[in-house]
Structure 1
Amino acid sequence: MARTWRLMGADRRLYESALPGTLGGNRRLRIYGRLDCPSALRWIAKGHYVKNRVFFADGATAVAAGYRPCAICLPAEWRRYKASAGR
Structure 2
Amino acid sequence: MFANPVLRLLIGRLAIFMAALGILTLLPFDLDPLLRFVIAFFVSMILSVFLLKRTREQVGEQVVTSVEKRQAKKAARKS
The bucket for the TM-score relative to the shorter chain is under 0.3
As a proportion of its length, which structure holds more strand? 1
User: Which structure has the greater CA radius of gyration?
Assistant: 2
| TM-score after normalising by structure 2 | 0.26
Does 1 or 2 have the higher relative contact order (CA < 8 Å, sep 6+)?
Answer: 2
| TM-score after normalising by structure 1 | 0.25
